[in-house]
Structure 1
Amino acid sequence: MIGDTPPEASPSPDASVSTGEKTGADVASAHKPSQPQSTESHAKHAGFWALALGSIGVVFGDIGTSPLYAFKEALHAAAGDGVTRPEILGVVSLALWAMILVVTVKYVGFIMRADNKGEGGVLSLMALAQQAIGKRTAVVFTLGIIGAALFYGDAVITPAMSVLSAVEGLRTIPALENSISNELVLMIAGVMLIGLFAFQSHGTAKVGLLFGPICAVWFASMAALGIGQFIANPQILASINPYYAVKFLSEHGMAGFIVLGAVFLTVTGAEALTADMGHFGRWPIQAAWLFFVLPCLTLNYLGQGALALTVLDASQAAGRPFEEMNWFFEMAPLALRLPLVLLAGMATVVASQAVITGAFSLTQQAIQLGLLPRLNVKRTSETQEGQIFVPQLNTMLLVGVLVVMVTFQTSSALAHAYGLAVTGTMVVTTMMAAIVMRQMWKWGWPRVLAFIVPFMILDLSFLSANMLRFFSGGWLPVLIGACLFTIMATWVRGSGILFEKSRRDSVLLTDLIDMLKARPPHRVPGTAIFLTSDSEVAPVALMHNLKHNKILHEKNIILTVDTRNIPRVHESERITIEKLDEDFKRVTVHYGFMESPNLPKAMGICRKQGLKFDIMATSFFLGRRSVVASATSGMPLWQDRLFIFLMRNATNPTEFFHIPPGRVVELGTQVSV
């Protein structure tokens, strides 16, 4: 049964790394006869800035909501024995330089160059690294699974964290301060999240048009708030000097390390820069970050720091203790506080939508690469390839988000759980990027080490700092990641065992053809298409058809689906047809890991290439395996049972491959794992 076994890495001539991009406008412009240069240039720039605006909403939604809680949590961590002016300057300096080093230098400067035919993300990078090495290796494969598993932890925590922090802003409005209980905050946040997940089945195409403008207004508002504060207290500009960050860490020891874990919240969402490259392109994302998003975030963190300095001065002058506040919302005048809370609510919905969409996309890639069982992937747009909806995952994410929100109650408590998943994914990304640089880009070791050493030190520092929060909440993403890792590892291992057992018990296809020539069975008219994951052996359904029905169709096609380590396969390379003899043909349908298989459409391409058959006289034969657990071979018994559970709950291949149900015949067999 196709899809039961993960496809092996199969490097191909077209599966090469792309360090630059050529958009459709670039290609088209090369063939335009005599269009005025100014008009052509204007159209190209308009398209570029439209993509940049779109990326502001989708790519930067997560990192754009970090100011709601990042500075507040970092300053709170530093305020164990009171707050001083150097500590405020140090925390702001750490936040600014975290964005510069992690996002600007590492991701924008290096990681975004390691794209897989324009696509990014941890599984895309895993496929690229495997491609660079030339085979599937246990190290790269394990790293990819770890990175993907941790991303799901992030996908559960981000919506709860973002929406909770926005709704808590209602408490900064004096008229509502005493009437907004924690239960009411949870209820409002819960209603918002349920509405968001319920909307997923309708697709994000329409609401996506609003994402860019909403987030553009959000970032502009953050910048304006920051400017208003640091104009009143320009001393905060001194924090741009990294001296204050280094001094803070050197003087505070373990406490500084704890603050570093909270400061990391400023860069959560950096992985989205690579994950969404396929939708917007590298240059629009880089331009949006460098010329708009980074300046707006910088101004806002400077503004929050300036407000903290002002409050500190007032506290010292009045002889009272320093009062911790919700710094982000306190920057706004009272008259604008409610509109700001509403805008923050919309921005957090955008941030949540971005990570949900990313989880759908990652799941599709994982299914195609053989890391997860088949799930029902629905397309919500005929024109947008990335517009997909995975019903089972959507339900699981909603339940997970609501459970997490009710368990942790507040954004401050949830902040302790937030960083560990992201830092783990960043470590994985750095390691796989180094493999690509060495194996595919052919960088020398000195150049590779110049990249990997400083960034691994940085990543491991953040990871260690977040590990200190393990018992106060960091266990959550580790638990989610461990569960997903176990599921993926079980599926891969179980599929491999099933594949090997089936091959041992099967007859080579070439041997079967020779036997049929020697003893021809009864022939019936029409075409039989046998789906199999191993085109070298006779499919189980074919053997059962011969054994029980004692017939062979006039035409027989052995059909295999092959997933390559590239995002998409060009239609001209979709089909490979091999004639075995007059009765049998072997057809391989190639897909990329970002594509959803559609076998009737693929068979239409076969007909155009000369493989003639009448679809109304064609039957699709599927081999359905009944798997039983075995304590004496293969995996441990608990893992056998988990694998069987995953197989039973996988989407029916008829539905997954879009085969007309009325043309399908299923023949089963029993096998133990």
Structure 2
Amino acid sequence: MSNTQTGNAPFSSARFHVITLAALGVVFGDIGTSPLYALKESFSPDHGIPFSPASVMGIISMLFWSIMVVVTLKYIYFVMRADNNGEGGVLALMALALRTAKSGSRWAHFLMMLGVFGACMFYGDVVITPAISVLSAVEGIEIATPAFAHFVVPITLLILIGLFLIQKHGTSVVGKLFGPVMFFWFISLGLLGLFNIVKAPAILAAINPYYAVAFMVEHAKLAFVVLGSVVLVLTGVEALYADMGHFGIRPIRFAWLYTVMPCLMLCYFGQGANLLVNPAAVSNPFYLMVPDVLLIPMVVLSTLATVIASQAVISGAFSLTSQAILLGFVPRMRILHTSEDERGQIYVPVINWMLLILVVAVVVAFKKSDNLAAAYGVAVTATMLITTILAAVVMRNVWKWNPYLVALLISFLFIVDFGFFAANLMKIPDGGWFTVMLGVILFFLLITWYSGRMLLRARTKDEGIPLEPFIEGLLAHPPYRVEGTAVFLTGNVETVPVAMLHNLKHNRILHKRVFFLKISVWDVPYVADDKRLTLKEMGGNVFQLRAAFGFKEDPDVHTVMTLCNTQFGQEFDLMDTSFFLARDTIVPSKLPGMWEWREKLFAWMYANAAKPSDFFHIPVNRVVELGTKVEM
């Protein structure tokens, strides 16, 4: 039996096809539901494009070549090569690019800012995707039964609220249905496309880029506006890259090249063919190409597909939040694991409820998918542009590609991406302002948190007492030593933890065995167990213990204790171990650092972050918290 490989793990061809089917349900949900609204928005009356066969040919040609250049060429063949130990996504790409930048330099700061802003724009995508996808699917009711048109928004809200309410139960059960449902969806798109192409096979000539170029030359200004709608065929393209760690490169490429792309192309060409035969179908090109007898089943199938697309981006938001927390850009939050088998299936309650509020507000405010389309493109194109810039850094500095080849390739992709981005900037007054505003607010919060943490760490280090000489002096004249083990969690193993100073000052005791534990997050997705721990004995049964986790892992004290026993013979009796934590209270001051109002914001975020004991899964009855005030 032949073997195929995803990430670093080989598996049989049977397993390969199972994973490919699963990828259909998770990776391609967003881009797979674009036919519901992409062509409809491209022919929006607001654009002023005169309807004609030449316009149909031109726009279909633009859709075709947008998919071929951006998705197939850029992402499938180039960007997906940039994996960080098998993981993809804008934060993973940022971490990869930062490896060649000098720490603390302006260049490193610029790359970090780009990556964080790209992540913030992804959250804008997460808010818009469920709203526009489910709305556009439910709007099929208007075609089937116009009398029910006023029920579109209420039905959409019910579906979306139900979707967010079930998140806490996990997606493992529903996820098994995602792949087969999406496979049936794509096959249906392909068959519908073929059914309509037969009516007007002349539409296939739009494969020739001449029609796209001719359309853009003839309608130069209007074509630029239409470009802002054409980009809707690319929504969800980042998911191909972001979910690479879950499924591997080959299953995603295979699913795209042999199922998703052909079916999407047939569907778009089928919509175009139907427009050539029936120009009135321009009001809703997707549903009006469906035979009447299949209209209700297609509304149901479309709704299922859009729910799956929404689930995919919501899960992606949870995953991205987890990565951002571990990379130090987001305050610690409560993270629940919804599957004992799949480490990537998580639920973040705070993010879930924030998204629910925002999505409901968006549906109520915009009411129609046409209105939401204006808000959609800005987030997508901004992330695409950032991905191209970061990919250029990786190609040149990490892969050491020929600079002329990199310049040629990136210049071409940058021009394409910037064209889409610039076209979408024109939609800011019509709704694009929402995703820009959301992205800027999130970016400001993330950078405030990151800067505050760096400032807090610097304050602690500057005011800290060097650990080694302190321990030498302490052991020379030790206080009374009590039975048991004390673990002091610290962010810097070079200085004495504040919790220890308070414990010595107030309790005047030292445990028989003491560990200074620092848990670090590396810029790789996963860390092998044999590289996770380092232990240094300082004498007198006092140890420095460092534990490393990847940004896709779950930092867990139980894992550290188990490995410490296995690798170093240091056994831990949980009932005989106390974990000492410093509970800092941030006090804004006029000391050099951030503006005072930003310090107040950081202090509020710090106070409301999840407790380290919850985040590191430390049993509550074994935790001792000692408070201290820190001026910033």
TM-score normalised by L of structure 1: 0.91
Give the secondary-structure state (helix, strand or coil) at the position aligned to 2:44.
helix
1:291 aligns with 2:258: yes
1:142 corresponds in structure 2 to 113
User: Are the counterparts in 1 of residues 41 and 373 from structure 2 also a CA contact under 8 Å?
Assistant: yes
After TM superposition, list the pairs within 5 Å mapping 1:37-56 onto structure 2.
44-56=12-24
- CA shift, 1:549, in A, is 1.5
User: Are the counterparts in 2 of residues 126 and 432 from structure 1 also a CA contact under 8 Å?
Assistant: yes
1:209 aligns with 2:209: no
Equivalents in 2 of 1:583, 1:605: separation in Å? 18
Equivalents in 2 of 1:450, 1:98: separation in Å? 18
Counterpart selection for 2:576 from 617, 620, 624: 617
1:131 aligns with 2:99: yes
2:130 corresponds in structure 1 to 159
Question: Could you tell me which amino acid in structure 1 is paired with residue 213 of structure 2?
Answer: V
Counterpart selection for 1:92 from 47, 53, 60: 60
User: Are the counterparts in 1 of residues 8 and 86 from structure 2 also a CA contact under 8 Å?
Assistant: no
User: Are the counterparts in 2 of residues 77 and 258 from structure 1 also a CA contact under 8 Å?
Assistant: no
Give the secondary-structure state (helix, strand or coil) at the position aligned to 1:555.
strand
Equivalents in 1 of 2:221, 2:139: separation in Å? 30
1:461 aligns with 2:419: yes
1:180 corresponds in structure 2 to 149
User: Are the counterparts in 1 of residues 37 and 136 from structure 2 also a CA contact under 8 Å?
Assistant: yes
Counterpart selection for 1:364 from 322, 333, 337: 322
1:647 aligns with 2:632: no
1:24 corresponds in structure 2 to 9
1:332 corresponds in structure 2 to 290
After TM superposition, the structure 1 stretch with the greater mean CA deviation from structure 2, 346-355 or 565-574, is 565-574
User: Are the counterparts in 2 of residues 566 and 592 from structure 1 also a CA contact under 8 Å?
Assistant: yes
- CA shift, 1:551, in A, is 1.6
1:491 corresponds in structure 2 to 449
Equivalents in 1 of 2:606, 2:388: separation in Å? 34
1:473 aligns with 2:431: yes
Question: Could you tell me which amino acid in structure 1 is paired with residue 229 of structure 2?
Answer: A
Equivalents in 2 of 1:287, 1:253: separation in Å? 37
Question: Could you tell me which amino acid in structure 2 is paired with residue 140 of structure 1?
Answer: L
1:316 corresponds in structure 2 to none
Give the secondary-structure state (helix, strand or coil) at the position aligned to 1:647.
helix
- CA shift, 1:188, in A, is 0.1
1:439 aligns with 2:402: no
- CA shift, 1:131, in A, is 2.1
Question: Could you tell me which amino acid in structure 2 is paired with residue 563 of structure 1?
Answer: V
1:395 aligns with 2:353: yes
1:522 corresponds in structure 2 to 480
1:593 aligns with 2:539: no
Question: Could you tell me which amino acid in structure 1 is paired with residue 617 of structure 2?
Answer: H
Give the secondary-structure state (helix, strand or coil) at the position aligned to 1:161.
helix
- Per-residue displacement from partner, 1:541-599 (whole Å, max 9, x unpaired)? 01111122222211110000011111011112221111122232100111000001110
2:197 corresponds in structure 1 to 230
- CA shift, 1:133, in A, is 3.2
After TM superposition, list the pairs within 5 Å mapping 1:217-616 onto structure 2.
217-312=184-279, 324-608=282-566, 609-616=568-575
Equivalents in 2 of 1:519, 1:24: separation in Å? 54
Closer/same/farther in 2, CA of residues 373 and 22 from structure 1, 3 Å limit: closer
Counterpart selection for 2:587 from 617, 620, 628: 628
Give the secondary-structure state (helix, strand or coil) at the position aligned to 1:278.
helix
Equivalents in 2 of 1:294, 1:624: separation in Å? 53
1:30 corresponds in structure 2 to none
Closer/same/farther in 2, CA of residues 22 and 629 from structure 1, 3 Å limit: closer
Give the secondary-structure state (helix, strand or coil) at the position aligned to 2:578.
strand
- CA shift, 1:614, in A, is 3.3
- CA shift, 1:613, in A, is 4.2
- Per-residue displacement from partner, 1:91-124 (whole Å, max 9, x unpaired)? 1000010000000000001000101111101111
- CA shift, 1:451, in A, is 2.1
RMSD, aligned CA: 1.4
- Per-residue displacement from partner, 1:384-428 (whole Å, max 9, x unpaired)? 111110011000001010001111110000000001001111111
Equivalents in 2 of 1:81, 1:143: separation in Å? 35
- Per-residue displacement from partner, 1:360-392 (whole Å, max 9, x unpaired)? 000000001001010111110111111110011
- CA shift, 1:83, in A, is 0.8
Equivalents in 2 of 1:331, 1:124: separation in Å? 41
Counterpart selection for 1:198 from 162, 165, 170: 165
1:660 corresponds in structure 2 to 619
Question: Could you tell me which amino acid in structure 2 is paired with residue 220 of structure 1?
Answer: I
Give the secondary-structure state (helix, strand or coil) at the position aligned to 1:659.
coil
Give the secondary-structure state (helix, strand or coil) at the position aligned to 2:535.
strand
Equivalents in 1 of 2:247, 2:617: separation in Å? 29
Closer/same/farther in 2, CA of residues 56 and 81 from structure 1, 3 Å limit: closer
Gaps of 5+ in 1: 1-19, 27-43, 313-321
Gaps of 5+ in 2: none
Equivalents in 1 of 2:166, 2:385: separation in Å? 34
Question: Could you tell me which amino acid in structure 2 is paired with residue 116 of structure 1?
Answer: N
- CA shift, 1:518, in A, is 4.1
After TM superposition, list the pairs within 5 Å mapping 1:99-138 onto structure 2.
99-133=67-101, 135=103, 137-138=108-109
- CA shift, 1:238, in A, is 1.2
Equivalents in 2 of 1:647, 1:276: separation in Å? 30
Equivalents in 2 of 1:331, 1:291: separation in Å? 24
Give the secondary-structure state (helix, strand or coil) at the position aligned to 1:180.
helix
User: Are the counterparts in 2 of residues 77 and 259 from structure 1 also a CA contact under 8 Å?
Assistant: no
User: Are the counterparts in 1 of residues 6 and 247 from structure 2 also a CA contact under 8 Å?
Assistant: no
User: Are the counterparts in 1 of residues 487 and 578 from structure 2 also a CA contact under 8 Å?
Assistant: yes
Equivalents in 2 of 1:559, 1:57: separation in Å? 41
User: Looking at both structures, which has the greater relative contact order when contacts are Cα pairs under 8 Å and sequence separation is at least 6?
Assistant: 1
Question: Could you tell me which amino acid in structure 2 is paired with residue 24 of structure 1?
Answer: A
- Per-residue displacement from partner, 1:127-153 (whole Å, max 9, x unpaired)? 111124364610111111101100001
User: Are the counterparts in 1 of residues 475 and 540 from structure 2 also a CA contact under 8 Å?
Assistant: no
Equivalents in 1 of 2:146, 2:597: separation in Å? 52
Give the secondary-structure state (helix, strand or coil) at the position aligned to 2:224.
helix
Equivalents in 2 of 1:513, 1:95: separation in Å? 68
Equivalents in 2 of 1:269, 1:77: separation in Å? 25
2:27 corresponds in structure 1 to 59
Equivalents in 2 of 1:217, 1:614: separation in Å? 53
Equivalents in 2 of 1:301, 1:476: separation in Å? 28
1:637 aligns with 2:596: yes
User: Are the counterparts in 2 of residues 219 and 296 from structure 1 also a CA contact under 8 Å?
Assistant: yes
TM-score normalised by L of structure 2: 0.97
Equivalents in 1 of 2:221, 2:597: separation in Å? 41
